[in-house]
Amino acid sequence: MDTDINGIINLRKSAEYTSHDCVALIRKMFGVKKAGHTGTLDPMAEGVLPICLGKATRIIEYMDNDLKEYRCTMKMGIETDTQDVWGKILCEYPLKDITERSIRDAVLSFRGSIDQIPPKYSALKVKGKRLYEYAREGLEVEIKSRRINIEDIIIDDIIIEEDEEGKAQKAEVTLTVTCSKGTYIRTLCHDIGRKLGCGAAMSGLTRTVSGIFCIEDAVSLEELENMSKKERMAKLLPMDHPLSGLLVIWLDDKRAEDFVNGRAISNFTAPENIQDENKKENPKKHFRVYSEKTFLGIAGIEDNELRPEKVLCKKT
């Protein structure tokens, strides 16, 4: 195992792999002990799945609140137990009253801050047990709603097949959704269907953006497998790559030595521009810390004291 490999792979996950599968394969491919992903994708979903290797696993928590963007399709007229087309069909509904206008009105009503009840077939834990485990055992458990934010929702396409009388027989809608952490896109599709009164189930999902990572720059498992070690390493992004939203603090050699040894730096006054930005955009007071060109880790400032939170470099 290589203990010196630290960084992030912007992986393009394929359908039918679980997120856990992808982490295990990347860990083996790079020969590292530690690896973790930054946000689960369902097995049938594809797209951006950043995987952190080595010390980079320690910054996952700072990426949790990054916005995500998805492109999804939903089939109108059905409801399933998993809220996608791969589940068991529970109900089928006629589409006779469905129009482009009614679909647009329903979809756009979900913009903004909304309450969402996570699906019972999900990895969310309740009382120490994952929801899908309760569901597979046929057990009922209370699932509380959560506040999420649909930053934007764009209707890319609406396909309605009509009969000779002009009544809808089949309908499929394609959406691009930008949303906060914790949003279940299949539940969004389900809820849109409920609002329309005809049901809906997600029929396709691709994550196109996760924070700073986008699908155009992502690499697949198959591509990585066919690369030389040198080519593979060239795809490894530095640990500070996804932390561009955190403001930067530079330390001289003496203070850098204190930082990497986990010592707080007293009488530390942040530059005025950092203090001003801190009030508006950085309420948790997290900062990227550097010495010359070396990324040392993440710190907080409190009571004029720079306090190491994550030391990611042991040498200055």
Q: What is the 3-state secondary structure (H, E, C) of 272-298?
A: HHHHHHHHHHCCCCEEEEEECCEEEEE
The pTM of the full predicted model, rounded to 2 decimals, is: 0.90
Instruction: Please tell me the predicted confidence (pLDDT) of residue 276.
Output: 45
Fold adopted by 7-65+216-234: Pseudouridine synthase (3.30.2350)
1.10.20.140, 2.30.130.10, 1.20.5.440, 3.10.290.10: CATH of 245-311: 2.30.130.10
7-65+216-234 matches 68-210 in fold: yes
Give the ranges where the chain is alpha helix by DSSP (H): 19-30, 100-108, 131-136, 185-196, 221-225, 229-234, 253-260, 272-281
Q: To which H or E segment does residue 306 belong?
A: strand 305-311
Name which of 148, 146, 7, 144 is nearest 67 in CA terms. Answer: 148
Q: pLDDT 10s per residue in the chain (316 long)?
A: 556 899 999 999 999 899 999 999 999 999 999 999 988 898 999 999 999 999 999 999 988 778 999 999 999 999 999 999 999 999 999 997 889 999 999 999 999 999 999 999 988 888 888 988 998 998 889 999 999 999 999 999 999 988 877 777 899 999 999 999 999 999 999 999 999 999 999 999 999 999 999 999 999 999 999 999 999 999 999 999 999 888 899 999 999 999 999 999 988 876 554 544 444 444 447 899 999 879 999 999 888 889 999 999 876 5
Q: Which amino acid is at 190?
A: H
Domain spans in the chain, listed from the N-terminal domain onward: 7-65+216-234, 68-210, 245-311
Strand segments (E) across 112-240:
112-116, 125-126, 129-130, 146-162, 168-179, 200-210, 213-214
Fold adopted by 68-210: Pseudouridine synthase (3.30.2350)
Name which of 62, 55, 63 is nearest 6 in CA terms. Answer: 55
- Choose, from 42, 84, 191, 240, the residue flagged as catalytic: 42
Instruction: Please tell me the predicted confidence (pLDDT) of residue 274.
Output: 58
97 belongs to the catalytic site: no
Instruction: Please tell me the predicted confidence (pLDDT) of residue 201.
Output: 98
